[in-house]
Chains A and B, each alone.
Chain A
Amino acid sequence: MTVSHSGKPVIDVDGLGIFYRLQQRRRVSIKKVLLGGGFRRDAPLLWALRDVSFRCHEGEILGVIGPNGAGKSTLCLALSQILTPDEGEVAVSGEVSTLLSLGAGFNRDLSGRENIYLNAAFLGISRAEIEGKMQEIIEFSELGEFIDQPIRFYSSGMKSRLGFSVAASLEPEILILDEVLSVGDHAFQQKSRRRLQGMMDRSRVIVLVSHSVEFLRELCTHALWLEKGRVRGFGAAKEVLDGYLAASTTEPVQE
């Protein structure tokens, strides 16, 4: 299935497995802890990802597709090095920038301008760099005078516009996007899509997670089809997406 390619892969995922212990997600009551059995070591494991292997090379755009609960978000967390693998390895050569959610580090009591500094610091952009881009970011966000208001007064659309504007000033080597593309009204969506295109042109490798086959077909060179934490298909985008589309229309929906 894998496409032959010369040169070192930029992303090399080998036998990746990540589990959640189901017990961990439940509330542990005091009674259980006292009577024992509160933290059972043999609690059932849920493998969000298992035996996942694939490689991405320079210049590729990988689309990740799959039904809900397939492990797409967990894969993003592993690629961004937020979660470490329980099994296998994830090797990424280059600086990873992740856009999993916009404006995650915002402090609602601070102004938009102060939050730009804060958000940039979380994303690893230096203060000097962000100061140079400040005017551009404020203009792009279309917030106008609101930029000096505390963001607790912002609508959710305004917040994500600001979040996107900061994130768009990243110069990523490896870009990981998890369906954050629909921001703001129609006009802003057009604008943000153009900006994203620019970022993607400058990135070495892009990983896109989406439910939209059409969207991925338009952009991706390769695709990874996940189902129940395992790889169901990997290869050239067209083949994998066709396979996914065919399966999702013929196979009964389980849920």
Chain B
Amino acid sequence: MISNWSNLVARRDLLRELTLAELRAQSQETRFGWLWWLVDPLIMMLIYWGVVVGIFGRGERYTPYPVFILCAMLPWKHFTSSINASAKILRGRDSLIKAIAFPTMALPLTIVFAGFSNFLFGMVVLLGTAVVFERPLELLPMLQLLPLLVLQLLLVTGLALMVACFGALVRDLSGFLTHLTRMGFYLCPTLYGVDMVAERFLSGALGEQAWAQWIPTLYMANPFAILFTGYREALFYGQLMEGQWWALLTLEALVLLFAGYRLYQYFDRRVIKFL
């Protein structure tokens, strides 16, 4: 049974059961259960707040920093946990794949969906933090959250499908992924904002170099830079994100999703021989 759209729709029961099973297994394994989905982002946020504001004494321009950092950390965690798990999933479930005919695309998709529901719990923490720190939280900027959630889901799905194929073909990939995602964390505007990138390359010594003028624009080609900016506009600044970034993010998410879907279809049955 190949992994195409119609087979996935026909087996939507499987997608639902697998996602629920994944979430249930996560929550039943631990004593706190689903409370972890709230505690986990809280702890992460406290660590970065402590390090950046408490120890380095930075981040005053991004006050309140907890809201600022969560806006980027939560979608980033959805992304990294999804691709790290996707890289291993086909290899890890080889006995299942070789025993039952089902669209195997359900496996990486389930990871992305389960991660997304963890992310939604994180959003509850983020909204709570935004209320505690008295962010404006106006209706119109908040409405941006809906398209952001959709675009994030499409983006992460596309990337997870690609990584799932490569992870099955190249054994070393998951070893590299940890380092790549760590690097990505610092390269993306997670701990800092895109305004800081612009400032750094457009003024001072670098500002006189012609090539440096291009860096901030190029930097925004990264879909995660736009995504994090979007969440910050919605919940931190209480503003609307510019239309060009919406267009670019939508385009990138759709292209990556399509590429991931087609790549997965190409490798779908071929990859089974490698497992």
Residues of A within 8 A of B (CB): 20-21, 24, 27-28, 30, 77, 80-84, 96, 98, 100-101, 104-105, 107, 109-110, 114, 117-118, 120-124, 126-127, 150
Q: Find out whether the CB atom of A104 lies under 8 angstroms from the CB atom of B96.
A: yes
Q: Which residues of B contact A (CB under 8 A)?
A: 1-2, 11, 13-14, 16-18, 21-22, 24-25, 28-29, 95-102, 170-172, 269, 272-274
Contact of A118 among B2, B18, B29, B172 (CB under 8 A): B18
On chain A, the residues within 8 Å of B29 by CB distance are 109
Across chains A and B, the number of contacting residue pairs, with CB separation under 8 Å, is: 77
Task: Name the contact of A114 in the complex, choosing from B11, B21, B170, B274 (C-beta under 8 A).
Answer: B21
Interchain CB contact under 8 A, A98 and B101: yes
Who on chain A is nearest to B268 by CB? Answer: A84
Which residue from B18, B28, B101, B172 sits with its C-beta under 8 Å from A82? B101
The answer to whether A83 and B272 touch (CB under 8 A), given A126-B13, A127-B13, is yes
Chain A, Cβ-Cβ closest to B97: A82
A101–B95 contact, CB under 8 A?
yes
Of the candidates A28, A105, A118, A123, the one whose C-beta lies within 8 Å of that of B171 is: A28
User: Could you tell me the distance in whole angstroms from the C-beta of A254 to the nearest C-beta in chain B?
Assistant: 25
B17, B98, B101: which has the most chain A beta carbons within 10 Å? B101
B98 touches A82 (CB 8 A): yes
CB distance from B32 to the nearest CB of A (A): 15
Which one of A21, A30, A98, A150 lies within 8 Å of B100 (CB-CB)? A98
- Chain A hits for B97, CB < 8 A: 82
Chain B binding surface SS class: helix
- Indicate if the CB atoms of A107 and B102 lie closer than 8 Å: no
B98 to chain A, nearest CB (A): 6
Would you list the 4 A-B pairs with minimal beta carbon distance, nearest first?
Answer: A121-B17, A104-B99, A109-B25, A121-B14
Interface pair B28/A110, CB less than 8 Å apart:
yes
- Decide if B28 touches A150 in the complex (CB within 8 Å): yes
User: What's the least CB distance linking A140 to chain B, in Å?
Assistant: 20
The closest CB in chain A to the CB of B99 belongs to A104
**Measured between C-beta atoms, what is the minimum distance from A80 to chain B in Å?**
5
Q: How far is the CA of A193 from the CA of B216 in the complex (A)?
A: 70
A21-B273, A117-B17 known; A124+B28 contact, CB < 8 A: no
Cα A34 to Cα B13 in complex, Å, equals 44
Complex Cα distance, B22 from A93, in Å, reads 34
Please name 12 pairs of A and B residues whose Cβ atoms are closer than 8 Å in the assembled complex, sorted by A.
Answer: A20-B273, A24-B273, A28-B170, A28-B171, A30-B172, A80-B100, A82-B269, A109-B29, A110-B24, A121-B18, A122-B96, A126-B13
A101-B99 contact in complex given A24-B274, A27-B171, C-beta closer than 8 Å? yes
- Asked if residues A122 and B102 are in contact (CB atoms below 8 Å), the reply is yes
